[in-house]
Amino acid sequence: MLGIAIVEDDRDHAVLLESFIRQYAAERCIPVSVRLFHDAVTFLDQYAAEYQIVFMDIMMPMMDGMQAARLLRQKDDLVVLVFVTTMRQYAVQGYEVDACDFLVKPVTYPEFALKFTRILSKVPTQVPGSEVFLKTENSFVRLPSRDILYVEVKGHHCIYHTVGGDYRRYQTMKSAEAALPADSFARCNNYLLVNLAHVSRMDGMEVWVGTVTLPVSYPRRKAFADAVARYMERQNQ
């Protein structure tokens, strides 16, 4: 799924741009998710590194697009940024924040389609589930799934225990599990999701993950043991 954010205070133009994106995606069978933001402050406050492309209007109230882009780059230096402007000369400033391209209003669909084809070529390709995007209290983290040891749910939060430290995120275990590759992660009980790549041993009702020993519940023991066995078989092929 290609995640796209449109940050545009002109609601009519935002809707038009969204329609162009959806038309392009429908013609080429590209699954997309599009979200509209009508000011940069709200966009940045709610930002999670779940978008591959951001269309940013330059002239907006409260915070202009250039200022917003600089703050965006502090949060996410990989997202593909495209400026939308009424004056071509403003787009030159985009090099300061590594903007991929720009659209000049009013935008027509043929012009958009030509530009969007080029923009898509700049989107990094990755295996689905190879990264998870975590919004913590003070930052956003792109976390390679291979670095996760296990995920633990406590209350309404999931704690990602990784080789580089722990990260806490407000979410359900179900949503955490859905974001990770099913052939590499399995639950050993209702509150622990284990990266099978880091399993070194399983004995009875316990599993060794890295340097930590985790409990295996009886209802999940067979399914978890089968998942470990399948994973090891694939690695030995």
Predicted confidence (pLDDT) at residue 91 exceeds the cutoff of 50: yes
What percentage of residues in the chain have a pLDDT greater than 70?
A: 89
Tens digit of each residue's pLDDT (9 = 90 or more) over 1-53 = 788 999 999 999 999 999 999 999 999 888 888 999 999 999 999 887 778 89
Distance between first and last Cα of the chain: 30
Name the band, by pLDDT with cuts 50, 70 and 90, for residue 130. low
Q: Which amino acid is at 183?
A: D
Instruction: Output the CA angle 77-131-173, nearest 5 degrees.
Output: 125
Task: Reply yes or no on whether the pLDDT at 150 is more than 80.
Answer: yes
On whether the pTM is more than 0.85, the answer is no
Amino acid, res. 127:
V
CA distance 7 to 26: 22
Distance of CA 180 to the CA centre of its chain: 12
Domains and CATH numbers, the chain: 2-120 (3.40.50.2300), 132-236 (2.40.50.1020)
Q: Please, what is the average pLDDT of the chain?
A: 86
Residues paired with residue 32 on neighbouring β-strands, in sequence order: 2
Alpha-carbon distance of 203 to 185, in angstroms, equals: 18
DSSP annotation string for 217-237: -HHHHHHHHHHHHHHHHHHH-
152: number of Cβ within 10 Å: 19
Answer for the pair 85, 58: CB distance below 8 angstroms, yes or no: yes
Beta partners for residue 221, in sequence order: none
